[in-house]
Amino acid sequence: MKPVPSLSLLTRILALGASLILSGQAFAQSDPLPSWNDGAAKKAIVEFVQATTTQGSLKFVPPAERIATFDQDGTLWVEHPMYSQVMYCLERIPAVVKAKPDLAKVEPFKTVMSGNREAMAKLSMQDLLKIVAATLTGISVDEFNAEVKKWLETARDPRWKKPYTELTYLPMQEVLKYLRANGYKTYIVTGGGQDFVRVYAEQTYGIPPEQVVGTAGGTTYGYAKDGKPFLTKEPKLLLNDDKAGKPEGIHLMIGRRPVAAFGNSAGDQQMLEYAKAGDGARLAMLVLHDDAKREYAYGPAQGLPATKVGAFPQVLYDEAKKQGWTVISMKNDWKRVFVFD
């Protein structure tokens, strides 16, 4: 039997209505993307959202299928001059060496401990993997989360002298909120460490841990002396969430093809292809770092030499044109870059 609505029930419904008005979100008619200049990029986003969420539209996407995926480094926040997670690993080495003093005499730890930035820049990929293994594995998941949290509170970006979590792009934050207000589930799909990004994604982007897909290692279940179970992070790679690993990771962790995908480098090409290859309306966008003044300009598409991070080669630019992906020019499409601008 259906319950009969009582007076108190109607009061609650009106209260619910009032809170919707107060939040001002659900029915707001104002510009959802105030930090964007009018142009092809902003138009593509707004038209996509309207087409996929308007009942009766030929391009309507049912709410359950509204999945949008975002690369993180260089797409949602600054990746230059070095990924923040690499900074974390390097800055964590002294504590690792303190716990195991013998490491101080062994490379690459010796170089990192020297503080010589020039020598550190020359470390090989194999050296970096040793640093990653020493700083990201061999500890419990809870300890790791606590360490990253602590680091984020004090670490500062070298240029703006601000916490990394404040260096997110305001226009992209607006896109995340705009999509969510329209029933999209927003995911981060990052080449960075899944556990690392999960520590701050909820507070920084409003994206809960279960919606962060990243490069992931295995864990091992075990018991502490008091019988309490815990998970230890192992140096066993389960998912290399970069390039072809991005659609593979999306299948593993989400199990649906995204309707919209956002990236900024060659590492995102396959994710964008995968999203775009589905039926119906699709949105694929690439952030181009062409704003040397407010942020950075880098990569061959800028006529600049390739860099270690966030490579945006000419071939990706050509691919974007060919595949109908929209390139976002930081310089021209964004009114503001950071919330503190």
| Contacting residues toward a copy of itself, per CB under 8 A | 1-3, 5, 9-10, 12-14, 16-17, 20-22, 24, 27-30, 64, 67, 141, 185, 194-195, 198, 202, 208-210, 212, 216, 218-221, 228-229, 231, 238-239, 244-245, 247-248, 251-256, 270, 273-274, 277
Q: How far is the CB of 277 from a copy of itself (least distance, A)?
A: 5
Residues 227 and 120: beta-carbon distance below 8 Å: no
Q: How far is the CB of 51 from a copy of itself (least distance, A)?
A: 21
Q: How far is the CB of 174 from a copy of itself (least distance, A)?
A: 16
Residues 170 and 338: beta-carbon distance below 8 Å: yes
Q: How far is the CB of 201 from a copy of itself (least distance, A)?
A: 9
Question: CA 205 from chain center: how many Å?
Answer: 8
d(CA 248, CA 233): 22
Nearest CB to a copy of itself, comparing residues 34 and 115: 34
Q: Which two tokens stand for residue 319?
A: 């691919």
Q: Which two tokens stand for residue 113?
A: 């401990």
d(CA 100, CA 235): 18
d(CA 92, CA 260): 36
Nearest CB to a copy of itself, comparing residues 213 and 330: 213
Q: How far is the CB of 109 from a copy of itself (least distance, A)?
A: 28
Nearest CB to a copy of itself, comparing residues 115 and 209: 209
Question: CA 32 from chain center: how many Å?
Answer: 21
Nearest CB to a copy of itself, comparing residues 63 and 115: 63
Give Cβ neighbours of residue 126 (< 8 Å, ≥ 6 apart). Answer: none
Nearest CB to a copy of itself, comparing residues 64 and 99: 64
Question: How much helix, strand and coil, in percent to the nearest 5, is found in the chain?
Answer: 45, 15, 35
Nearest CB to a copy of itself, comparing residues 116 and 203: 203
Q: How far is the CB of 83 from a copy of itself (least distance, A)?
A: 20
Give Cβ neighbours of residue 341 (< 8 Å, ≥ 6 apart). Answer: 170, 294
**Radius of gyration over alpha carbons of the chain, in Å?**
22
